Structure 1
Amino acid sequence: MAHGEESQAHYIDMETPSVARMYDWLLGGVENYQVDRDACDRLLRIAPNSQQLARTNREFLRRVVRIIVTDFGITQFLDHGSGLPTQDNVHEVAQRVTPDAKVAYIDNDPMVLAHGRTTLHENSNTMVIDQDMRNTERILEATKEFFDWTKPIAALFVSVLHCLPDTDDQRDPAALVKRVAAALPAGSCMVICQLVSDNPTVRRDVTQLMAESTHNRWGRVREDHEVRQYFEGMTIVDPGLVDVIDWRPDTPPPPPDMRPTEWVEWGGMGLL
């Protein structure tokens, strides 16, 4: 069993699109089914730059993890909604800088869990936690002996909060962020970005498509001011909250006329 796994059978649903498998296809991966590719085709008709956005987001993840280790000296990572293993996973990026960096991956997609166990089982500085990312208490319990909780930890919510619906309880995305932030040691940080759009038609159509495709295993495309609220009480790291293509890029970002116009990945990094 993966850490934190419930004593129940895990069923891989090949008839319903999976957000993790759709993201895998958008990144050029092969761990997906026809139903996922069909859903991506529908998504691309609404938001043609979705594939570019997925790759931009992955490049941001690589940069921010590297910078967290090199510039802030944080070597412990809690990766919420980690998705299918691909090239340059969080532990690979971090361990290239510091071989003893530790990463706990959190996901409850059966295919993610299966591939995670296979890919990571020989790396003692990684663990896979089989939990809904909103089950903070169980996640903390699973990592109690894995992390040094007297030292800073980087909590990652990279392109996942749009998968969570708004609620009136502690399962709400904003409540989740606050709960995790309150549990982290002093000096920790949080990385948050999600899909946002200024276009109400794009927000409505993508949200509706993903909700229908995934049988309501989806949240909502939001606006940037809503993501900004997640960072309340944190010190925002330069260059602030931005389209992630502009967050400390390794190469000059594209000019405005070559960028996605329908939606972007928006967010940044906050210190606690």
Structure 2
Amino acid sequence: MSTANAAPEAAPVYIDTSKASIARVYDAFLNGKDNYEIDRLVLRQVQAVAPEAAQLAWDNREFLIRVTRFIASQTGVTQYLDCGSGLPTAENTHQVAQRIAPDSRVVYIDNDPVVLAHGRALLEENEQTHFVSADIFKPEEIVNNELVRKYLDFSQPIALFQLGTIHHYDGERSPEDIMRAYVDALPSGSYVAISHFFDPETTEHSSLARRMEEVFLHSPMGTGLFRTHPQIEAMFPGLEFVEPGISLCVDWWPDGPRIKPLDPVQYTIVGGVARKP
């Protein structure tokens, strides 16, 4: 596998290093080593308009950790469907969940070849955790996937994660429709967690969100939409929000009191968790 300093020629033949990968760009944002120059270019371009842009990825990762702790410790749910898992970093969903509830089962969904290669190697010795190669924006295929059904029991509650994913969807189907298809397939008592780039529609931070969006859309990655609160709320159809509802990722049940002020970019990523009645 490549390191941050590896030449593109060192990449496996199935890796297209002429195009940025969502998973590898996030890895670059998190200061990881599994990315190429084309991915780091996206980071530099976003940092040109938002110097603290990497904080977006950190806030998203820490939101995932806190949400997983909440699910594992408070809800009794022990099944996780993590869509768009990304590259392994410290504290992945299965590590957080299984430390609290060792019988937790996690199925990661991704179709990035780098992610799949890493993930399968990482999980060879973990019988409770699995990777499935599939398109997370085709919910009907995911919920009916043979391996997903093998490892997750859809008669029992499931925690569905779409964290840092839907803002990169650029197809014709609406994100609300994609999430409705997922929600419809989940049994009562399931939880849905979403994090998303955010336009707060405020004088202070809306222009920053739209500048970053413009850079993402015209970068080698080509995706990254900053949506408004009503647009994101619509992705939780018929669900009951866990307090505090949709909030800044950094404000969703933080681990302690805030002492230092937020960076401007931290006002442009939100998350929420909701339960299916």
TM-score, length of structure 1 as denominator length: 0.88
Q: CA deviation at 1:261?
A: 4.8
Are residue 235 (structure 1) and residue 237 (structure 2) matched?
Answer: no
Q: 1:79 is matched with which residue?
A: 82
Report the 3-state secondary structure (helix = DSSP H, G, I; strand = E; otherwise coil) of the residue aligned with 1:71.
helix
Report the 3-state secondary structure (helix = DSSP H, G, I; strand = E; otherwise coil) of the residue aligned with 1:96.
helix
State whether residues 88 and 118 of structure 2, in contact with CA within 8 Å, keep that contact through their aligned partners in structure 1.
yes
Q: CA deviation at 1:185?
A: 1.0
State whether residues 207 and 219 of structure 1, in contact with CA within 8 Å, keep that contact through their aligned partners in structure 2.
yes
Q: 1:224 is matched with which residue?
A: 229
State whether residues 42 and 220 of structure 2, in contact with CA within 8 Å, keep that contact through their aligned partners in structure 1.
no
Q: 1:101 is matched with which residue?
A: 104
The CA distance in 1 between the partners of 2:241 and 2:259, in whole Å, is: 24
Task: Identify the match of residue 152 of structure 2 among 132, 147, 154.
Answer: 147
The CA distance in 2 between the partners of 1:242 and 1:68, in whole Å, is: 17
- Residue by residue over 1:28-86, the C-alpha shift from the partner in whole angstroms, topping out at 9 and shown as x without a partner, is 21111122112201111122221122112111110100110111111111111111111
The CA distance in 2 between the partners of 1:226 and 1:177, in whole Å, is: 12
Are residue 211 (structure 1) and residue 217 (structure 2) matched?
Answer: yes
Q: CA deviation at 1:22?
A: 1.3
Q: CA deviation at 1:215?
A: 5.6
The CA distance in 2 between the partners of 1:248 and 1:262, in whole Å, is: 15
Q: 2:134 is matched with which residue?
A: 131
Are residue 18 (structure 1) and residue 21 (structure 2) matched?
Answer: yes
The CA distance in 1 between the partners of 2:259 and 2:194, in whole Å, is: 22
The CA distance in 2 between the partners of 1:269 and 1:150, in whole Å, is: 21
Report the 3-state secondary structure (helix = DSSP H, G, I; strand = E; otherwise coil) of the residue aligned with 1:145.
helix
Task: Identify the match of residue 157 of structure 1 among 138, 162, 171.
Answer: 162
Are residue 44 (structure 1) and residue 47 (structure 2) matched?
Answer: yes
Report the 3-state secondary structure (helix = DSSP H, G, I; strand = E; otherwise coil) of the residue aligned with 2:234.
helix
- Residue by residue over 1:189-210, the C-alpha shift from the partner in whole angstroms, topping out at 9 and shown as x without a partner, is 1001101123554444333332
State whether residues 38 and 220 of structure 2, in contact with CA within 8 Å, keep that contact through their aligned partners in structure 1.
no
Q: CA deviation at 1:224?
A: 2.0
Q: Give the aligned residue type for 2:158.
A: I
Report the 3-state secondary structure (helix = DSSP H, G, I; strand = E; otherwise coil) of the residue aligned with 1:41.
helix
Task: Identify the match of residue 196 of structure 1 among 185, 191, 198.
Answer: 198
For 1:50-61, list aligned pairs within 5 A: 50-61=53-64
The CA distance in 2 between the partners of 1:253 and 1:235, in whole Å, is: 27
The CA distance in 2 between the partners of 1:225 and 1:254, in whole Å, is: 30
Are residue 266 (structure 1) and residue 270 (structure 2) matched?
Answer: yes
Q: Give the aligned residue type for 2:268.
A: V
**Quick check: 153-162 or 245-254, which moved more?**
245-254
The CA distance in 1 between the partners of 2:135 and 2:249, in whole Å, is: 25
State whether residues 23 and 54 of structure 1, in contact with CA within 8 Å, keep that contact through their aligned partners in structure 2.
yes
Q: Give the aligned residue type for 2:90.
A: Q
Q: Give the aligned residue type for 1:184.
A: L
The CA distance in 2 between the partners of 1:53 and 1:254, in whole Å, is: 19
Q: 1:182 is matched with which residue?
A: 184
RMSD: 2.0
Report the 3-state secondary structure (helix = DSSP H, G, I; strand = E; otherwise coil) of the residue aligned with 2:149.
coil
**Identity between Structure 1 and Structure 2 (%):** 37
**Quick check: 128-137 or 207-216, which moved more?**
207-216
The CA distance in 1 between the partners of 2:179 and 2:104, in whole Å, is: 23
Report the 3-state secondary structure (helix = DSSP H, G, I; strand = E; otherwise coil) of the residue aligned with 1:113.
helix
The CA distance in 2 between the partners of 1:41 and 1:254, in whole Å, is: 28
Q: CA deviation at 1:212?
A: 3.0
| Structure 1 gap ranges (5+) | 1-8
Q: Give the aligned residue type for 1:54.
A: A
Q: Give the aligned residue type for 2:262.
A: M
Q: 1:111 is matched with which residue?
A: 114
Q: 2:255 is matched with which residue?
A: 250
